[in-house]
């Protein structure tokens, strides 16, 4: 390997979560429960099991519940200790044990690119992993480790991709492979990117799935990037700029299980699937669900 694997990650969690109103009036979207664990903890756990030891969470004003969630709660710990609730105690300590968590506040909602720009000081010249907390990757399936190995080996930018039906590509950033690339390959060289294309003009059906390994050059590119789709500074546009400047961009096509918690319908599907394999309630829930579906 040419370099060491990236060990720093940034998780943007500054959005208003308007698709989840009224809940998100007071609860950050990133804390929506997957049974009883916030989605954000599952994403931090994914980073942690892939060797990422420091995580910077970008929040907006009024989202202090996120910092509270990762901070120790001595009063609650004492209460659970006195009750002899070892499982409860382990569960509330788990999140903080996954990685060292840092927080920074994004002052205005200027988009994903601007949120990532808040990581410049934290990255301090090292490669930075970005994980979008709306996308959950099943822990039984491999993506981030492969991306980190490839980035350590080749340098440049490494992107997690999924192949989606053409009608859906407009919801995502789209990555165009170099001409002549094998459409069935799991690792593809990327020539160009476009954020939320019209499906009729999209250069491919490969969508960015919210996992990025970025080199330090990303911060200069973000500074030079003007607002794009939705009038926001798009990370996709900054990556495109680097690709055009000759920085190698590699895509890893993920064909495993992925859940989207950014949309209400997809979120409910994620909860149903993950509840079905929950260690405590999984078998009872699955038995009930079978019976419920056959009855309705
Ligand atoms: C963001 C990115 C997009 C990416 C998507 C993955 O879009 O801008 O490139 O494909 O996340 O979930 P958003 O879902 O925030 O609109």
User: How many angstroms separate the first and last alpha carbons of the chain?
Assistant: 55
Instruction: Extract the runs of DSSP E, i.e. beta strands, from the chain.
Output: 8-13, 33-34, 37-38, 54-60, 100-106, 128-131, 135-137, 157-163, 173-177, 187-195, 206-214, 249-253, 258-260
Residue 127 counted as domain residue: yes
| Residue in the block written with tokens 């044990």 | 97
Q: Please report the pLDDT score of residue 55 as a whole number.
A: 98
Helices 86-98 & 39-49 angle (0-180, nearest 10): 60
- Does 3 score more than 90 pLDDT? no
Mean pLDDT of 206-228: 97
d(CA 37, CA 31) in angstroms, rounded, equals 8
Residue 27 counted as domain residue: yes
Residue 65 sits in a domain whose CATH number is 3.90.550.10
Residue 53 counted as domain residue: yes
Going by CA atoms, what residue is nearest to atom 7 of ligand 1? 172
Closest CA to 236 of 218, 253, 248: 218
User: CA–CA distance from 64 to each of 5, 17, 61, 68, 88 (Å)?
Assistant: 31, 15, 7, 6, 23
Question: What is the Å distance from ligand 1's center to 195 Cα?
Answer: 8
pLDDT grade for 296, boundaries at 50, 70 and 90: confident
Residue 285 counted as domain residue: no
pLDDT grade for 2, boundaries at 50, 70 and 90: confident
Q: Give pLDDT tens digits for 238-255.
A: 999 999 999 999 999 999
Structure tokens at 54: 């420091």
Q: Give pLDDT tens digits for 14-73.
A: 998 999 999 999 999 999 999 999 999 999 999 999 999 999 999 999 899 999 999 999
Q: In the chain, what percentage of residues exceed pLDDT 70?
A: 100
**DSSP label of 160:** E
Question: What is the Å distance from ligand 1's center to 209 Cα?
Answer: 7
Closest CA to 219 of 235, 195, 232: 235
Helical (H) or strand (E) element with 223: helix 218-223
Q: 21-25, long-range: CB within 8 Å, 24+ apart, which pairs?
A: none
Closest CA to 63 of 21, 106, 92: 106
Q: From 14, 18, 172, give the residue whose CB has the most ligand 1 atoms within 8 Å, as the site to mutate.
A: 172
Judged by DSSP in three states, 6 sits in: coil
Question: What is the Å distance from ligand 1's center to 108 Cα?
Answer: 18
Question: What is the Å distance from ligand 1's center to 6 Cα?
Answer: 22
pLDDT grade for 205, boundaries at 50, 70 and 90: very high
Residue 239 counted as domain residue: yes
- Does 1 score more than 70 pLDDT? no
Residue 75 counted as domain residue: yes
Going by CA atoms, what residue is nearest to atom 10 of ligand 1? 172
Q: From 208, 209, 261, give the residue whose CB has the most ligand 1 atoms within 8 Å, as the site to mutate.
A: 208
Please state the atom number of ligand 1 nearest to the C-alpha of residue 230: 16
What is the domain extent for residue 195? Answer: 8-262
Going by CA atoms, what residue is nearest to atom 1 of ligand 1? 172
d(CA 244, CA 237) in angstroms, rounded, equals 11
Residue 131 counted as domain residue: yes
Question: What is the Å distance from ligand 1's center to 203 Cα?
Answer: 17
Residue 279 counted as domain residue: no
pLDDT grade for 107, boundaries at 50, 70 and 90: confident
Residue pair 35/187 in contact by the 8 Å Cβ criterion: no
How many domains does the chain fold into?
A: 1
Give the pocket of ligand 1 (CB within 6 Å): 112, 132, 134-135, 172-173, 195, 207-210, 236, 262
Question: What is the Å distance from ligand 1's center to 95 Cα?
Answer: 25
Question: What is the Å distance from ligand 1's center to 172 Cα?
Answer: 5
């Amino acid at each position: 390997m040419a370099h060491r694997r990236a060990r720093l990650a940034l998780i943007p969690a500054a959005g208003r979560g308007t698709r989840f109103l009224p809940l998100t009036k007071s609860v950050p979207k990133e804390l929506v429960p997957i049974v009883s664990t916030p989605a954000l903890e599952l994403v931090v756990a994914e980073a942690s099991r892939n060797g990422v030891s420091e995580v910077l969470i970008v929040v907006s004003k009024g989202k202090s519940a996120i910092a509270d969630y990762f901070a120790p709660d001595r009063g609650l710990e004492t209460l659970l200790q006195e009750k002899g609730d070892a499982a409860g105690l382990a569960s509330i300590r788990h999140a903080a044990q996954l990685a060292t968590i840092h927080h920074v506040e994004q002052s205005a909602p200027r988009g994903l690119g601007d949120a990532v720009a808040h990581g410049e000081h934290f990255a301090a010249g090292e490669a930075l992993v970005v994980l979008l907390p709306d996308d959950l990757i099943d822990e039984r399936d491999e993506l981030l480790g492969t991306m980190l190995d490839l980035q350590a080996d080749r340098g440049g930018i490494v992107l997690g991709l999924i192949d989606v039906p053409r009608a859906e590509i407009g919801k995502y950033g789209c990555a165009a492979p170099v001409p002549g690339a094998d459409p069935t390959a799991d690792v593809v060289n990327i020539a160009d990117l476009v954020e939320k294309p019209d499906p009729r003009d999209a250069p491919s059906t490969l969508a960015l799935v919210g996992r990025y390994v970025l080199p330090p050059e990303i911060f200069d590119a973000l500074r030079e990037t003007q607002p794009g789709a939705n009038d926001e500074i798009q990370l996709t546009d900054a990556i495109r700029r680097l690709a055009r400047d000759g920085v190698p961009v590699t895509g890893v096509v993920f064909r495993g299980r992925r859940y989207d918690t950014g949309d209400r319908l997809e979120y409910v599907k994620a909860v149903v699937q993950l509840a079905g394999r929950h260690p405590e309630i999984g078998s009872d829930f699955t038995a009930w669900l079978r019976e419920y579906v056959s009855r309705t």
